Structure 1
Amino acid sequence: MRRVVVRLALIAGGAFVLASCGIADSRSPVPEFMRSQAAEPPPPEPPPDVKRLVREKLDSVFLAASNPRHVRVSPPHREVRGTGWTACVRAELTSVIGKPLGAETYRLVISSGLIIDRRRAEADDDCASESYEPI
């Protein structure tokens, strides 16, 4: 019986020693050579071609029934949080019943060369102060 207890204690101790190897991350209080290295951030992606993206995916930005005209885009800017890009798009739109809505502005979020989000621009998006170019 004593032999079994000793073996179990040795197995548990060995498992504890092996498990503790994974605990020494880059912020742990162990010597530097025992710490795992912090992961390097991914390289920044190049600025997207917003004109081409909007031209090719116009239906993902505006509804086809809104008949977008005079579509203009702003230059891309890096997202404040994250690795993507933001840009503003402005166009003259028509309602579903044919009534002119006027110029509407949308804020796009672009990541890996794809439009991943779009929403109507708000005052804090700074789309009003952007310079726009036609697509």
Structure 2
Amino acid sequence: MAGAALTLAGCGFADIRAPVPEFMRAKVPEPAPLEPAPDVRRMLKEKLDSVFTAASQPTNIRVSEPRPNLRGPGWTACVKADVNSVTGQPLGTQTYRIEISDGAIADRRTIEPEDTCAGESYEPI
């Protein structure tokens, strides 16, 4: 009985990378459809506090075009602004990468060397 169960268990489809003929492999799943490009300028006007604190008094705010997020679903964009420290001293221009998911700013972080924000073109909001 156990031998018959093991024999029948092997009749299913193989993994997509298995070394079996194509017709025996499971189908590659379709990627999720990309949501429409967000209006980042409008989002920042409405929820600027999701990127900058009010105490930083951001000025000269600029944003790049949204790009599909290569690390997951949604979109990313770069945001630059001249900001102040907590004590009111100017810190200069700070650049952040924001992640947009389901039409909202989901995350923001300081740019890293592998980010492409340095090569982006920016428009004021």
TM-score range with shorter-chain normalisation?
0.7 to 0.9
Counterpart of 2:100? 110
Which protein is richer in helix relative to its size? 1
Output the aligned Cα RMSD. 2.4
Partner of 1:48: 38
With over 3 angstroms needed to count, the CA separation of the structure-2 counterparts of 1:32 and 1:109, relative to structure 1, is same
Larger radius of gyration: 1
TM-score (ref. length: structure 1): 0.73
Classify 1:35/1:105 alpha carbon distance in 2 versus 1 (closer, same or farther; 3 Å): closer
Unaligned runs of 5+ in 1: 1-10
Give 5+ residue unaligned stretches, structure 2.
none
Deviations 1:58-103 (A, max 9, x none): 1121112212223221111233444432211111212111112222
The runs of 4+ residues in structure 1 deviating greater than 6 Å are: none
Shift of the 23–120 alpha-carbon distance from structure 1 to 2, 3 Å rule, reads same
Find the aligned partners of 1:26 and 1:90 in 2 and give their Cα distance: 43
The correspondence for 2:74, drawn from 80, 84, 98, is 84
Cα distance in 2 between the residues matched to 1:102 and 1:30: 59
TM-score, with normalisation over the residues of structure 2? Answer: 0.78
